[in-house]
Every structure is written in structure tokens, then in C-alpha cells.
Structure 1
Amino acid sequence: MVERILTRIGVLILSVKCVFFYRLLFSIMNLAKGALGGGVLAGHVAYMTAGYFPALILNMVYGVYMCFNFYILVMSAQRLCRRCHVASMTYPDVGEAAFALFPNPKVARWSTCYRKWIDVITCLNLFGSCAAYQLMVAKTIKQLAENTQESIIEGRHGSYFGRFSVRLPNLRLYIAFMIVPFIIICLITEIKYLAPFSIGANFVIAIAIIMTISYALQYNPKFENMVVANSFLDVIKYTGMAVFSMSCAGVVIPVENNMKDPKKFPIVLGCGYIFIIGCVFFCSFFGYVAFLDKCESPITMNFPLTTGPKVLKGLIAVMIYVTHAVNFFMPFNCVYFYLKPKFKPENQYKMELVFRALIVIIISLVAIAFPSVDALMGFLGCFCLSNMAFICPNTIYVLVHYERPGKNRKFMIWRAVLLSLFGVFILFCGSFVSGKDLIFTLFKKKQEDATTPAPDGR
């Protein structure tokens, strides 16, 4: 009798541990999914840009730096929830409350402006990501349609039936052709319908990383002809792309809000960033090893045009197509929150669909104007994520904990200043360098992202 009772207690304890582990794993995967979108598929270009030595070091440094900043952001959010007696807050809520509850009225009056600023940079980052994803899809379709490893913005000449020679469409035309399909998927107003596809996208990315490692060991087993380091400006370009590929600023607070035990969030954040840094490293480093100076975004563009890789290219295009709709969901809701009260209740749903279509068209026009995935990701990483991942968390932390007993104010302020100064440097210098590249793609009539086919038919 006693043995049966002990056995049942043991089974119960094991079941509780399994449920606890499953919930933590689910939260870790949600956190990682927020970072590992299309950005991870461009990391090898960032390694090529900076050189492998600074890229390897900064890959780790930026990952740890972002992990710490998101940790103090969530700790601040938890304290504000207790002060405001609410169950959860969004990122803009946290920013607004941090200013509003500060004892100095001169600081508190900026609470609404700060909330709107976070809304603006969040929307700019996610809408800009959608433009980068449209470019990735268009480039993949263009490569599969033309059946060539060569990737250029301008259309190339194709020969048909041995006698007809035609000029194939420009990359910008492929983006224009995709506007209607992107509008259709973005008209879905319930994100739950996209969730299963989003989960499947993780498996496709995992396959792409495994194939990247395989090609690295096949094409360059001795790790030869790799550039050790490039110029300082190239390292700054790397910074924007690296931050873009590793940041989960938009999901870090929602993941914590949905946890059964938010006190376990540091475990989720630490494990999540170990996984994120590892995935970015394997895809980026081995992608650079395999394709060297022929690196192209997304990484599947460098894969050979045989049956298996072609299928993967198509799956990646579908994955990015769905990720575009998932990324579009949150910033659109933020924008429509301000627009919705201007319409009558019976017209609000119709106007929502109209504005969804209009914003997708605007995003497509941005992609058409700036058809460079790498420059666009670099600019978004430097301008938007330097605020969301570096500057805002430290500002919020100081405001929330300034009056808390037992805190060393001088140390807290100096730490926040030093950590924020790095973000400010990335904001101005990185945005300037990446902005120049964007302007270059706008005015240059003909540009090649990867000018020649990879050797040996790759």
C-alpha cells in the first residue's frame, strides 16, 4: 500500500516537472521565433561585410548585450505592473508608465510623447521588415523563374526555343506583381489562422541551417579564402544587420505576459538567447564559409539549382510570405488604434480592410524604391532597434528604479548612460552609413547584389 502511494506521488511529481519544462520550452521557442525570422537568413552577408573575426566576437557581444537590456526591461515592466495594479503591459504601456509615475512633473509630462515614440519606431521597424521580406520573396521567385544563379536587379536576357530572345522583368517588377498576393494574406484579421504556418516556418529555417553547414563542409572544408576583418565602416554595417537578426524586442514583453510563472522569465530569456546566438552563428558563419564573397540574401539564393534546393527555396519563399503577414499584424493594429475612432462603428471593419491594403501598397513601394535587402536590414537595425533594444530599456529602468530604496543611484545612472551611449552611436553612425547604401540603391540604375555565379555550378 505504501509503495503504491509513493509510486503515485513520484509519477505526480514527474508529471508536474514535465508540464513545467514544456511551458518553459514553449516560452523559449516563442521568444526565439520572434528573433529568428528572415533576418537570420541574411547573417552570412553580415559576416562577409565585416570579416569573420570581428563578426564572431560581436555576434556574442551583441547577443549578451541585448539579453541584458531585455532583462532589465522586463524587470521594470513587472515592477510597474505591481505599482499600477494591472496584470500585464505592452512595451508602449511600460514606457508611458515609467515616465508618468516619475516623481518629477517635468519628466512625467513627457509620458504620452514617449509612448507615441515607441509606437512609431516599433511600426517603422516591423513595416520595414515587411519590405525586406517582400524583397526576399521577389528575389527567390526571380531566381526560380530565370533558373540562374546570377542575381541582379535589372532583368536579364533569356532565350526561348533557340530563336526568341526576350528581356526578363526587373526585380522591381517582380515586387509589383506580388502586391496583390501580399494584400490578400494581410487582409486576414485573426492571427490565429497564421500561427500554424508560423510554427512550420521554424522547421524550414532549421533545414536551411543544416543544409548551409553541409555546403560549407562540401565547398570549403579547409575554411580557406575567408577575410579576417574589413574596415570600421563595414563593421558598423555588420552591426545593423546583426542586431536585426538577433533582436526580439517586439515579443519579449508579450512572452513574459503569457507565462504562468513570470518569475521564471530570466531562465527563458537566457536559454532563448543562447539558442538565438547559436542559430545566427551556425547560419552566418558557415554560410560565409560556403559562399565567401558570393554571399546573397536570403541564404537559399546561394544554394544550387537542383531539385532539392529548389524545393527549399520555394518553401523559404512561402515561409517569408507568411512571416510578412505575422509581422504586419501588430504594427497595423497599433496604427489602426489611432484611426479607428474616426469612423462610424458600422464602417470600421470595411475601413480596416481598406487601410490594410493601402499600407501593404506603401510597403511595396518602399521595397521597389530600395531593392537592397542588406541595406534595408542594416538601416532598420541601426535606427529602430538601437532604440528598442539599447536606449529605451536603460531609460525605462532608471525612471522606474530611481526612487527605489537600496539602489546606488550614481552607479545606476552611469551604467545606463554608458549602455545607452553605445545605442546612440549605433543610432546616428549606423543609420548614416546604412542610409547612404539605401540612397545608393535608389539612384543607381543598375546594380548587382551578387554579380557572378558561384563556382562549380553552385
Structure 2
Amino acid sequence: MENETLKLRGLGGDKYGMEKDDGSGDDSYDPHLYRKVEHPTTNMETLIHLLKGCLGTGILAMPEAFKNAGMLNGLVCTFLIGALCTYCLHVLVQSQYVLCKRLRVPILTYPESMKIALESGPQCLRPYARFSPLLVDFFLIIYQLGICCVYIVFVAKNIKAVVDEYTDPDFTLTQYILMTFVPFVLINCIRNLKLLAPFSTLANVITFASFGVVCYYVFQDLPDISDRPAFGTLYTFPLFFGTTLFALEAVGVVIALENNMKTPKGFGGYCGVLNVGMVFVTVLYVGMGFIGYWKYGDGSQASITLNFPAEEFLAKAIRILYSIAIFISYGLQGYVPVEIMWKTYILKHLEGSDKLMLWEYVLRIGSVVITFVLALTIPLLGLFISLFGAFCLSALGIAFPAIMELCVKWPDQLGPGNIILVKDIALIIFGITGLLAGSYSCISEIVDKLTKGDIN
């Protein structure tokens, strides 16, 4: 469901001029009743899509995340981060709903919602409203390009692990990355997502089947659990935070799914789609991190598939199959930043041009080049995952939803003793701290490894 992030930028962009209510958001207008969805999804279909959208490469990195946090600390904090992500997603969806009521529009995109919220928030925040869509788009684009970098390194590392068993292992990771350039360019040049749909289905089948193989390996010959430390160091904890946030946060998927439901009111609530899906996903991620770290300890790698015995056929097969699934997913992830940049910032400057398709292909190829340059410069899978999780999702998934809720509730709906104000400020501080600390730890580790030449 990676392509669902696209729909963040769907409807609502030209509807600001419609009639507004008194700003309370409690009038009789219900945005859910006015949504026109061509193929609305049921609650069960939405749940399946949510699970599919959350189960990507992040789950394979959870054992390494636990290595950075410690066994007990990782166990507790993964549940806490899962709960935090779920709560902030509720905050975001509910804030967007209130804004839709105020503007009397059925749907607003994330950048539009942020702009409108800031315009009605505290006076000190209103000057930033005009820049907020650009900021949200910036984080969305960086996040999506970051995922593409993760996918490139993931595919290259897993292919290298297989091929090294049959050929000269002196071939470097850089060479394997370069070998995949043309295939990645070709898949990112597919302009119609419908053409990718059958391949996406194949990728999902491979992904879910792969979990069975992972379980086969990790549950064999588990060592004494007392050999694993309960707590990691303070320095490595931000790396755990970034990886876990990258794995669990599904802000793009969630908004798109809620916007396309047949019964959107079934999305929230104690037993709604979001809570059920996130509880299942969090438990699965905790299980993968806990058992994987228990099995491999300090040897846990950025993808648990790299810990499997290199000489065994099953391990080779799962690396190749998972690489195929991730390669296909690159086409979906790469589509998102291209769509944002093309339709929002570039197309308006090319009006009347008879070479629109040529320029679009230039953009598509250029975005692939950017991700490859980054992957070639810093081919560190685990640190890539942690860096983009901490830098982008601390903002998109924690700080921005809190800012939006604060503005939506301002000034007279902040609860007894301004409890909502205090809570949202705490979330904003936490998000910014996670962004800064996680990014600093990741960049420090990247510099250290590059200095030592430890990139393969």
C-alpha cells in the first residue's frame, strides 16, 4: 500500500472559497457524507491495506533496533512508540475532520490542512501558515526518496550476499548498486500505477510468505536469553527510536485509507480499524525485534535476512524473492515524490510546452539518479532507515499532528486547565527532540563508518 501516500494530495485544493461555519466545527455538515470515492473500501479491506502498508523493510530491521536499545528496553519502548504513533494518527485524522467541517469540504490534503490550521491558530504561528505546505511537502519528498535509498541498498546487499557464494566476493557493494541502476530507472519510468498493480500483488504475496521463512530460522536453537543485555546505551537509543519510528509510523497510508473508506467513522474508536491494525502491527514488530535479537544478539544486521546461513538454498531464495518484492515497491515509492514535485511545483511552469512528457521523464530519471548518488555515497542500510525515520517521521507523525490539533482547538477548546495545550506542546518538544537526537546519532555513526571505510 506504499502508493497510498499519493492520495494525501487528492481532493480539496480548490475549495477554500466555500461557505464556512462559525469555526466551532460542530455544525450539521458531515464531510464523510459528501465524499465521492470511486471504489470505497470496507472496514476489513481497509484493515488489510493498513497491515500491508505497515509491513515493509522496517520489520526486517527490528532485531538491529533491539540491539541498539537492549532486550527489555526495546520491548517496552516499541510498545510505547507504537501507542504514540497510533495516538498521533488519531489526532491527525480528527483534526483534519474538524477542518473539513469548518470549510465545508469533504477532504483536505495534509499540506492544506496544516496551512488552514495555522491560519486559525495562535497569533505567533500564523505568519508560518503560507510556508507550511512547502515544509510538509519537503518532509514527504525527503521521506519518500529516503525510502527509495533504503530499497536500493537493501536489494544490492541481499543480491551480493547470494552471488558472493558463487563468484568472486571481492566485488564491492558499490558495484552491485551500480548494476541495479538501469532496472530501477525503468521501473520508475512507469507512469501508470495500474501497470504496476499485478506486480504489487506479487510483491505482497512474497512479503507475507517470507515471514514464514524468517520464523523458521529465528526459532531454531535460541541461546540463553540472559546473554542479551536488558538495556543499551543512551548514545545508541536514538538509533533505535529512528528505526522503530520508520517501521511503525504509517502517516501517509493512514490518511489515504481513511479518505477512501465506505464508512469512515469505523476508522477511529477503541475497536476501529486504526487501533486493531496498529495493535497487530506493533505486536508483530515487537515479536520480530525480540526474537530476532534473542537469536542473533550483537550480530543482528540491518536486515535479518542477512543473518541467515549464506550457503543454504532457502536463505538464498528468500533474499532473492524479498529483493524482487522491494524492487517492485521502489516503483510505487518513487512515484510519490515525482507526483508531488511534478504536479505541485513544476507543471505550472511548463504550461503550453509540447515537451511535457519529456520533462516528466527527465524528472523521473533525475529522482532515481539522486537516490543512487545517496545510496552510493552512504550505502549503510540500517543507518539510512534510522536517519529517515528520525528526521522525517518525528515531524510528519508526531510534531505536525500536535501542532495541527493545538491550532484547531485554539483558543477556547483546550480542555480543563489547558490540558490539550500542555499535551500538544509536550508532543511537539518530543518530536523535535527525536528529530534532532536521532539525526545527530545517525549522522555521527555515518561519519564514523565512512571515516573507517566500514561501508560494506
Same fold (TM over 0.5): yes
1:72 Cα deviation from its structure 2 partner: 0.8
1:199 Cα deviation from its structure 2 partner: 3.6
Distance 2:64 2:254 in 1: 26
Q: Which one is further off, 268-277 or 342-351?
A: 342-351
1:439 Cα deviation from its structure 2 partner: 2.1
> Residue 43 in 1 paired to residue 62 in 2?
yes
User: Paired residues, what number?
Assistant: 411
Distance 2:114 2:329 in 1: 27
**1:274 is matched with which residue?**
279
Q: What letter matches 1:293 in structure 2?
A: D
Q: Please tell me whether the aligned partners of residues 127 and 363 of structure 1 are also in contact (alpha carbons under 8 angstroms).
A: yes
**1:436 is matched with which residue?**
444
Q: Please tell me whether the aligned partners of residues 53 and 228 of structure 1 are also in contact (alpha carbons under 8 angstroms).
A: yes
**1:133 is matched with which residue?**
151
**1:216 is matched with which residue?**
218
1:64 Cα deviation from its structure 2 partner: 0.3
Distance 1:179 1:265 in 2: 40
Alignment of 1:380-391 (within 5 A): 380-391=388-399
**1:335 is matched with which residue?**
341
Q: Which one is further off, 385-394 or 185-194?
A: 185-194
> Residue 123 in 1 paired to residue 141 in 2?
yes
CA displacement 1:63-120 (0-9 Å, x = unmatched): 000100010100011111122222212211211121234484x643422201110100
Alignment of 1:174-185 (within 5 A): 174-185=176-187
CA RMSD between the two structures:
2.1
1:224 Cα deviation from its structure 2 partner: 5.3
> Residue 417 in 1 paired to residue 425 in 2?
yes
**1:310 is matched with which residue?**
316
Percent same amino acid at aligned positions?
26
1:323 Cα deviation from its structure 2 partner: 1.3
> Residue 76 in 1 paired to residue 95 in 2?
yes
Distance 1:406 1:280 in 2: 34
Q: Please tell me whether the aligned partners of residues 70 and 252 of structure 1 are also in contact (alpha carbons under 8 angstroms).
A: yes
Q: Please tell me whether the aligned partners of residues 303 and 309 of structure 1 are also in contact (alpha carbons under 8 angstroms).
A: yes
> Residue 351 in 1 paired to residue 322 in 2?
no
Alignment of 1:89-108 (within 5 A): 89-102=108-121, 104=123, 107-108=125-126
Q: Please tell me whether the aligned partners of residues 121 and 406 of structure 2 are also in contact (alpha carbons under 8 angstroms).
A: no
1:222 Cα deviation from its structure 2 partner: 4.8
**2:22 is matched with which residue?**
none
Return the match for 1:255 from 253, 257, 282. Answer: 257
Distance change (3 Å), C-alpha of 1:446 and 1:395:
closer
1:196 Cα deviation from its structure 2 partner: 3.4
1:329 Cα deviation from its structure 2 partner: 1.3
> Residue 113 in 1 paired to residue 131 in 2?
yes
Q: Which one is further off, 198-207 or 423-432?
A: 198-207
Distance change (3 Å), C-alpha of 1:364 and 1:102:
same
**2:231 is matched with which residue?**
229
1:172 Cα deviation from its structure 2 partner: 1.1
**2:408 is matched with which residue?**
400
Q: Please tell me whether the aligned partners of residues 209 and 283 of structure 1 are also in contact (alpha carbons under 8 angstroms).
A: no
Q: What letter matches 1:327 in structure 2?
A: Q
1:228 Cα deviation from its structure 2 partner: 1.9
**1:456 is matched with which residue?**
none
**2:293 is matched with which residue?**
288
**1:187 is matched with which residue?**
189
Please report the TM-score for the alignment, with normalisation by the length of structure 2: 0.85
1:198 Cα deviation from its structure 2 partner: 2.8
1:271 Cα deviation from its structure 2 partner: 0.9
1:145 Cα deviation from its structure 2 partner: 0.9
CA displacement 1:111-166 (0-9 Å, x = unmatched): 22011101001111110111011000000111111118xxxxxxxxx6xxxxxxx6
Distance 1:203 1:279 in 2: 17
Distance 2:379 2:413 in 1: 52
**1:161 is matched with which residue?**
none
Q: Please tell me whether the aligned partners of residues 332 and 356 of structure 1 are also in contact (alpha carbons under 8 angstroms).
A: yes
1:244 Cα deviation from its structure 2 partner: 0.5
Distance 1:275 1:322 in 2: 25
1:298 Cα deviation from its structure 2 partner: 1.9
1:29 Cα deviation from its structure 2 partner: 2.1
Distance 1:418 1:224 in 2: 36
CA displacement 1:265-297 (0-9 Å, x = unmatched): 111110110121022122222222222222123
Distance 1:280 1:119 in 2: 28
Distance 2:197 2:127 in 1: 39
1:400 Cα deviation from its structure 2 partner: 0.9
Please state whether the residue corresponding to 1:219 is helix, strand or coil.
coil
Distance 1:366 1:443 in 2: 17
Please report the TM-score for the alignment, with normalisation by the length of structure 1: 0.85
Distance 1:283 1:334 in 2: 34
Distance 1:202 1:395 in 2: 35
Q: Please tell me whether the aligned partners of residues 143 and 301 of structure 1 are also in contact (alpha carbons under 8 angstroms).
A: yes
Q: What letter matches 1:64 in structure 2?
A: A
Distance 1:312 1:263 in 2: 39
Please state whether the residue corresponding to 1:384 is helix, strand or coil.
helix
Q: Please tell me whether the aligned partners of residues 95 and 114 of structure 1 are also in contact (alpha carbons under 8 angstroms).
A: yes
Q: Please tell me whether the aligned partners of residues 212 and 290 of structure 1 are also in contact (alpha carbons under 8 angstroms).
A: no
